[in-house]
């Protein structure tokens, strides 16, 4: 049976750090779904439709990767869609503290056999987050090499309009 995994987050926008995790996870599972979450606690730069479209374009070379969008409880989405695993990237020890709490809570909520799987972020990208990229670019700093070129263009268009 094909093992299906979910890699979830806000992806506002997707960075090379995320893409690195997606490429590596896609080799580990038969199917990988990138699940863009609508996080009510965050004010996004991009709409969910824009984020999904950008991720689809950047992952088009990966035959077993699909992109979806959801909101609400992660465990509900995971259980309803029959995933075997949820992938998370770890950048630093600070991520670990948050992730272990989430993984242990989710373990109570997931269907039996669903695992949280952690991949270490490529050290080249361990210092970035979507917010830091947005802040630097909005203040005129250079983020070349940290975000795919087309996504960088879309970000620049957004900041020009503001």
User: Any idea which residues carry the catalytic annotation?
Assistant: 18, 42, 91, 130
Q: Which is nearer to ligand COA, 102 or 143 (by Cβ)?
A: 102
CB of 79 to ligand COA, least distance (A): 11
d(Cα 26, Cα 85) in Å, to the nearest integer?
A: 12
Distances (CA, A) of 133 to 15, 24, 147, 157: 9, 22, 8, 15
Whether 54 and 22 have beta carbons less than 8 Å apart is answered as no
Q: Please identify which residue in 3, 30, 57, 73 interacts with ligand COA, judged by CB under 6 A.
A: 73
- Backbone torsion region of residue 76, taken as left when φ is above 0, otherwise alpha when ψ lies between -120 and 50, otherwise beta: alpha
- What is the size of the binding site for ligand COA (CB under 6 A)? 23
Whether 45 and 13 have beta carbons less than 8 Å apart is answered as yes
d(Cα 44, Cα 69) in Å, to the nearest integer?
A: 14
Segment lying near ligand COA (by CB under 6 A), choices 51-59, 60-68, 102-110, 148-156: 102-110
Closest chain position to ligand COA (CB): 17
Segment lying near ligand COA (by CB under 6 A), choices 15-23, 50-58, 136-144, 154-162: 15-23
CB of 96 to ligand COA, least distance (A): 12
Q: Is 131 in the site for ligand COA (CB under 6 A)?
A: yes
């Amino acid at each position: 049976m094909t093992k299906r995994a979910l890699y979830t987050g806000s992806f506002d926008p997707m960075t090379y750090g995320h893409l690195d995790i997606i490429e590596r996870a896609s080799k580990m599972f038969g199917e990988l779904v990138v699940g863009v979450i609508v996080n009510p606690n965050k004010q996004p730069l991009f709409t969910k439709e824009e984020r999904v479209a950008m991720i689809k374009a950047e992952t088009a070379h990966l035959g077993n990767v699909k992109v979806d969008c959801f909101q609400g409880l992660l465990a509900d989405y995971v259980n309803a869609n029959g995933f075997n695993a949820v992938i998370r990237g770890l950048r630093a020890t600070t991520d670990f503290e948050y992730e272990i709490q989430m993984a242990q809570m989710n373990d109570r909520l997931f269907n039996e056999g669903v695992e949280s799987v952690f991949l270490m972020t490529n050290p080249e990208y361990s210092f970035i987050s979507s917010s830091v990229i947005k802040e630097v670019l909005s203040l005129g700093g250079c983020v070349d090499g940290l975000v795919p070129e087309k996504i960088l263009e879309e970000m620049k268009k957004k900041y020009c309009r503001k």
